[in-house]
Amino acid sequence: MIELVLGGARSGKSKYAEQQAIKSAKQVIYIATAEARDAEMKLRIDRHQQDRPQSWHTVEEPVFLAKVINDHAQQNCCLLVDCLTLWLSNILFDKKGGVQQTIFDNETTALFESLSNFSGQIILVSNELGLGVIAMDKMTRRFVDEAGFLHQKIAALSDKVVLVTAGLPQVLK
């Protein structure tokens, strides 16, 4: 079962996804895509780590998400990926803000293939970015567009899609 959980910043999407993983009654493998590039992000990562049950196995992978999914896909496990938005920024832009088209193309293709062949349980968390105004700069517009395309493709592959707003889950599919 593939479940996509979308929501804005601080919407409760990660908490909801974690509750779903607990309800699975399976061994949870938490796949973290964030990198602590500044002090504030390190604090966010630390808070997420403290909130997770100690029994969960954590795999940190900012780029090669499909490989980690393939390596850990088992019927007795629930994979929880948090979050696709950070992963997207990691594969789309280099550290200087330039586009990494080859890495982006290769990794998104690999992810879609991995999910197309997935037979276990996976919960994918991502930020819904397309509900606001159109960004002023080209780089942000590209990122928001790619996130929207990513969500559409994953939603099509998903068995369940949930939008979380103000901590309230709304089942879309």
Q: 65: Cβ–Cβ under 8 A, 6 or more apart, which residues?
A: 31, 33, 81, 87, 107, 110, 111, 114
Set 48, 57, 72, 151: catalytic member:
48
Q: 101: Cβ–Cβ under 8 A, 6 or more apart, which residues?
A: none
Task: Report long-range pairs for 165-172 (Cβ below 8 Å, ≥24 apart).
Answer: 165/7, 165/8, 165/11, 166/11, 166/12, 167/11, 167/12, 167/15, 167/16, 168/12, 169/5, 169/12, 169/16
* Residue 48 annotated as catalytic: yes
Buried b (16+ CB within 10 A) or exposed e, 127-136: bbbeeeeeee
Do 93 and 135 touch, CB atoms closer than 8 A?
no
- Catalytically annotated residues: 48
